[in-house]
Amino acid sequence: MVENFLAYSERHRLQAWSAAGCMILLIAYFDWQLFENISIGFLYILPILLIASSLQHWQILVLATGCAFLREAFNPLNGQPGAAARISVASGAFALAGMFVRELNEKRRLVMRHLVDLQEQMQLRAEAEQQLRVLIETSPLGIFTLDSDGTILIVNQSAKQLLGIENDALESEDIRPFLPTLDHLLIGPDSSETFKTTIECKGQRKNGEIFLAHVWVSTYPTLSGRRLAAVVWDASENLRDREGTGLDSMMSTSRILIGAMSHEIRNLASAALSALDGLSGVAKVETTPQFQALASIIRGLEKIASSGVRLASKRTAVVADLGIVLDETRVVIEAPIREIGGGIHWNIARDLPLVQADHYSLLQVFLNLARNSQRAIEEAVTKDIDVEAALEGNMVVVKFRDSGPGIVRPDQLFRPFQPGAHSDGLGLFISRAILRSDGGDLRYEPQSEGSCFVVELWPAGKERTND
């Protein structure tokens, strides 16, 4: 009731002040005209209490003093000694009562403001919880929360579908039959620590089917113990695609390598046959068993090499998006270059056309060139790599420049099994063979400082040439 009174007097100040003024006039009139031997001046406290909640401190003091003087003016004791004391006591009493009401109203305001803030916070929290529930329920990823015993607390529909339990409740179930690794994270030796990590582990559906689970895990403390939140993704399809693509890329590269080596072997075999034909005119040499055996070996080697060349030539025409391949190269190579204190700068022209090349084989070529540049700048004072890609004439050209010491013997490049070369010098040999198999090429461009390798690619849809 007091709250309602204070709230009313604060909201309706004009009415409250008018009522207080009328009350003061009535009290003064009755005290003057009707009561000669007694004083009703104590009733001045009522108008003060009525409007104190809407007054400042000094206004309460002025009103209290005014009411004290009116009380003394119509008091039967007026004119007798002690008037100053009576006025002081009455002013203090009226002022204290008004101050109490004002402070009470201030506390009410603070409580109301706190309640409003609390209601807003509760509403915001409810909205946030609703958004979180919507996010969890509509997420295509399986989401779990577990308590310290490995019991499922919260699970979304995607997680139920992932585990093959769409129509049954998973809450309060044990996670161990489905994802045992999560339970191990909760009860492991480092269970007192909070951590965030990503793991790949075995998952099992209700029907016993095994799948590869990719899990984002984080733990958090609560009053009831340590808990774990997990976001789970079925990576089985991705694993199959990755391994299939890797196998296809490996087989394609192997065919290219066989073809390149067979090409070299066939050239050597042809040269050996020419030399052997020159020896056939020497007396008695052609008829010897050793000569006949050597001729058979060389001709057999030439046939094997020709078969390898024909095998490598049986390739399906493919098209790659050069921009995507360069982006993937950037993701893989930038971090290692930063680790050695180097910098890599990309100058890629816009609207590059599709190129005639296998995506993963081209990525392998770019990574090989980038890693060669990385090794070249490791001991250099200036550690910079520049990658440029643009359309030059009929070809798409990609250049890898570095600030390393340069190439000492450029004429020895692209030859396999070079003494002192990294990985037996096969990297550049295979890279050139990959590019040439699609009509492109890889060449070295002399520089005054550092080195530059140039990749030439045919735009998709244009007639290509092969060596």
SS (H, E, C) 360-419: HHHHHHHHHHHHHHHHHHCCCCCCEEEEEEEEECCEEEEEEEECCCCCCCHHHCCCCCCC
Q: Which helix (H) or strand (E) holds 83?
A: helix 83-138
- CB-based contact 99:49 (threshold 8 Å): no
**pTM score above 0.75:** no
Provide the residue-wise pLDDT of the chain in tens; the chain has 467 residues: 556 666 666 666 677 778 778 888 888 877 777 766 677 777 877 887 777 777 788 878 888 888 888 777 777 666 677 778 888 888 888 888 888 878 877 887 888 888 889 999 999 998 888 888 888 888 888 888 888 888 888 888 888 888 888 666 777 788 888 888 877 777 654 455 677 888 888 888 888 888 888 888 888 888 877 888 889 988 887 766 665 566 566 656 666 666 666 666 666 667 666 666 666 666 556 566 666 666 677 666 666 656 555 555 555 667 889 989 999 898 888 888 989 888 999 999 988 889 988 888 888 889 989 998 998 898 888 889 999 999 988 889 999 999 888 887 777 776 765 555 554 456 787 788 888 877 889 988 888 888 899 999 989 876 555 44
**Superfamily for domain range 322-457:** Histidine kinase-like ATPase, C-terminal domain (3.30.565.10)
**Cα-Cα-Cα-Cα dihedral sign, residues 413, 415, 421, 422:** positive
The angle formed by the CA atoms of residues 336, 238 and 321, to the nearest 5 degrees, is 60
Q: Where are the domains of the chain?
A: 2-115, 142-234, 256-313, 322-457
Q: In what order do the strands lie in the sheet with 384-392?
A: 343-348, 384-392, 395-402, 451-457, 441-444
- Contacts of 408-412 spanning 24+ positions with Cβ under 8 A: 410/444, 410/446
**Cα-Cα-Cα-Cα dihedral sign, residues 173, 174, 180, 185:** positive
Query: Nearest-CA neighbor of 183 among 191, 172, 193?
Result: 191
What is the predicted pLDDT for the residue at 397?
A: 94
Query: Nearest-CA neighbor of 408 among 423, 399, 418?
Result: 418
What is the predicted pLDDT for the residue at 162?
A: 84
Q: Rounded to a whole number, what is the distance in angstroms from the first to the last CA of the chain?
A: 100
Tokens of residue 463, six digits: 């007639």
Kindly report the backbone phi and psi dihedral angles of residue 300, in degrees, each rounded to the nearest multiple of 5, phi listed first. Answer: -65, -40
Rounded to an integer, what distance in angstroms lies between the CA atom of residue 137 and that of residue 131? 10
Rounded to an integer, what distance in angstroms lies between the CA atom of residue 308 and that of residue 56? 102
What is the predicted pLDDT for the residue at 301?
A: 65
What is the predicted pLDDT for the residue at 304?
A: 64
What is the predicted pLDDT for the residue at 456?
A: 93
What is the predicted pLDDT for the residue at 146?
A: 86
Residue 293: CA atoms inside 13 Å, Cβ hemisphere, count? Answer: 3
Q: Which CATH number fits domain 142-234: 1.10.3720.10, 3.10.450.50, 3.40.630.10, 3.30.450.20?
A: 3.30.450.20
